[in-house]
Amino acid sequence: MNSFSSLQIDEVYINKLKEKDILVPSPIQAESIPVILSGKDVVAQSQTGSGKTLAYVLPLLQQVDKSSREVQGIVIVPTRELGFQILETLQLLADEAGIRVQGLIGGAALTRQIDKLKLRPQLIVGTPGRVMELLKLRKLSVHHVRTVVVDEVDQVFDLGSMREVEVIFKGTQRNRQMLFFSATMPEPIQAVISRWMNEPVYVQISPEQRTSETLQHLYFVCEDRDKIDTLRRIVRLYKMPAAIVFINEIDNVAEIVEKLKFAGLSIEALYGDAGKQERAKVMQAFRAGKFQLLLATDIAARGLDIPHVTHVINFELPIDADHYVHRVGRTGRMGKKGTAISILTHKQRFIIEKFAKKLGCKIEEQEMAYGKIYQSGSRSAAKSAAPAKDKGARTGSADQQQAGSAVTSSSNQAVVRSTALGKPNPAKSSSVSGKASSRPSSSKPASQASNKFAKTGPSRSEVRSETRSGTAPEIHKSGTLAAATGTKPEAPKGTKPVKTKSDRELKRERKNKGAPRWLKEKQNKPT
């Protein structure tokens, strides 16, 4: 079966699908539609982005009795965003066939929804809480419902909506058809839904391949404090047009958004506690491409289908492999290429390895260096390709360094000879004074000159030896040594003469080192 007409789908729907460039049914559609049209209960599991929505929407429309004014089918979804997405798909096809569709989604005005129910819709898309609320108010009747669909069934029950869903089930006919769809179907969920089905047919497409084959899985390792900067670099190096960034908790949503905006990224947030108008406004702007990154939680982004999303980024790792599947399934849909990137610390490396082993996919480590992205372990090639740093520009040329080392070594040798003989060293005195006089005034500052001298000058033992021999040198603030020959080297031009302090003044300074400022000023006044 390689066409919708072979699946007994009406031409009115086929023509509408052609306008959206949907010409051939996907594997999940080709397997599920005939079984659903036969009236059997179905549990369908397939990869994210494989076309599960049309797999139940088309037979649901096909089975509607247009002459009846009762609700004949109901689709239960976990979130507002997924509800609006499915409602849009249903209305696109139902308007051509004259079928009335209405959304009963939480957060919308209740009175307006009650007024629209007077138009007698034949198909309903709703969240569990709002549907149950209208049932209790006796504004909605599901006695004539022949088909019940639960999309993303594991998420519906994870949100604590099992009680509301069971109330809806009990309000329908006993022979109604049950359809459960999801990309992940944990065993506890299968045990729950089996109570509401009669000899179900299980449809699984490539159960061993739980993620799309066109999806590339990557991860980057960094310190926790560097995650914001790592995300910024990833976004700019990959030049992604649109991406969804996932976090686990909504408590730090505002903080992360502000930090990423400060880093220069175009980002907005979508999370469960936001108001309905704010969430709708954010989704509308993101679909229109008005900003680049959508920061979202697992609940808010579950089941979303946004065609221009090319990348999914796990800013925080999901709690398990099933959540990883649903996250990365926001890209690489319906045969298109996509990239899933995870940012993690060194201690979290074992988690991503578990995900890869459980899902049977390859998740490769990447690194960033020199403005490019490399596979882990290939940074040696990146370093060899990087431009060499010009060390001469900062430390001087090689000729200058050689000349300086030659002068320093000759000076040191003269000092050692003078110390060994216990005599004044005129060679040393002339060399040092010559350097002092020939040094240009616009060269290095005095602080740098003194530091350089500290590295190349005589050691303490040498100075101590000279002192004992009666030839102690004089130490000046300029950092030069004057041999005890009775003459001092000339100071560079433009410098003030150094004022020497008497022994009495030095003793007073040492004594009053920790004294208050007013006492020091008082003692320093001339008497």
- Among residues 333, 300, 401, which one has the least CA distance to residue 183? 333
> What letter does residue 155 receive in the DSSP assignment?
H
- Does the pTM surpass 0.75? The reply is no
Report the b/e string of 159-193 with b at 16+ CB within 10 A: bebeebbeebbebbeeebbbbbbbbbbeeebbebb
Residue 131 has pLDDT above 90, yes or no: yes
Mean pLDDT for the stretch of residues 390-411: 44
Residue 126 has pLDDT above 50, yes or no: yes
Say which residues have a Cβ less than 8 Å from residue 232's Cβ, sequence separation at least 6.
260, 263, 264, 265
- Same-fold call for 4-205 versus 215-375: yes
Mean pLDDT for the stretch of residues 391-401: 43
In percent, the amount of the chain with pLDDT more than 90 equals: 46
Higher pLDDT, 46 or 486: 46
Q: Tell me, what's the pLDDT at 50? A: 85
Mean pLDDT (the chain) is 79
With cut-offs at 50, 70 and 90, classify the pLDDT of residue 101.
very high
Q: Tell me, what's the pLDDT at 212? A: 82
Residue 93 has pLDDT above 90, yes or no: yes
pLDDT tens figures, 344-357:
999 999 999 999 99
Angle at 393 between CA 387 and CA 394, to 5 degrees: 105
With cut-offs at 50, 70 and 90, classify the pLDDT of residue 32.
very high
pLDDT tens figures, 41-70:
999 998 888 889 999 999 999 999 999 999
Q: Tell me, what's the pLDDT at 524? A: 64
Please state which architecture CATH assigns to domain 4-205. 3-Layer(aba) Sandwich (3.40)
- Among residues 429, 428, 415, 419, which one has the least CA distance to residue 470? 419
Q: Tell me, what's the pLDDT at 501? A: 64
* Winning range, highest mean pLDDT, from 189-193, 383-387, 517-521: 189-193
Residue 143 has pLDDT above 80, yes or no: yes
> What letter does residue 271 receive in the DSSP assignment?
-
Q: Tell me, what's the pLDDT at 514? A: 60
With cut-offs at 50, 70 and 90, classify the pLDDT of residue 216.
very high
Mean pLDDT for the stretch of residues 274-296: 88
With cut-offs at 50, 70 and 90, classify the pLDDT of residue 466.
very low
pLDDT tens figures, 315-340:
999 999 989 998 998 898 878 899 99
Element counts in the chain: helices (H) and strands (E): 22, 17
pLDDT tens figures, 171-197:
998 899 999 999 888 888 888 898 899
Mean pLDDT for the stretch of residues 59-86: 93
Residue 100 has pLDDT above 90, yes or no: yes
Mean pLDDT for the stretch of residues 251-263: 88
- Cα separation values, 68 from 64, 73, 168, 275, 499, Å: 8, 12, 21, 36, 110
Residue 474 has pLDDT above 80, yes or no: no
Q: Tell me, what's the pLDDT at 348? A: 95
Q: Tell me, what's the pLDDT at 249? A: 84
Mean pLDDT for the stretch of residues 506-517: 66
Cα 229 to chain centroid distance, Å, stands at: 9
Higher pLDDT, 124 or 523: 124
Lookup: tokens for 315: 């800013």
Q: Could you write out the DSSP letters of every residue in 86-154?
A: HHHHHHHHHHHHT--EEEE-TTS-HHHHHHHHTT--SEEEE-HHHHHHHHHTT----TT--EEEEESHH
Q: Which of 218-227, 229-238, 262-271, 350-359 has the lowest mean pLDDT?
A: 262-271
CB 1 within 8 A of CB 25: yes
Residue tagged 């769809």 (tokens): 181
Q: Where are the domains of the chain?
A: 4-205, 215-375
Backbone angles phi, psi at 417, to 5 degrees: -65, -40
Please state which architecture CATH assigns to domain 215-375. 3-Layer(aba) Sandwich (3.40)
In percent, the amount of the chain with pLDDT more than 70 equals: 71
Residue 389 has pLDDT above 70, yes or no: no
- Among residues 138, 86, 131, which one has the least CA distance to residue 106? 131
Radius of gyration of the chain (CA): 40
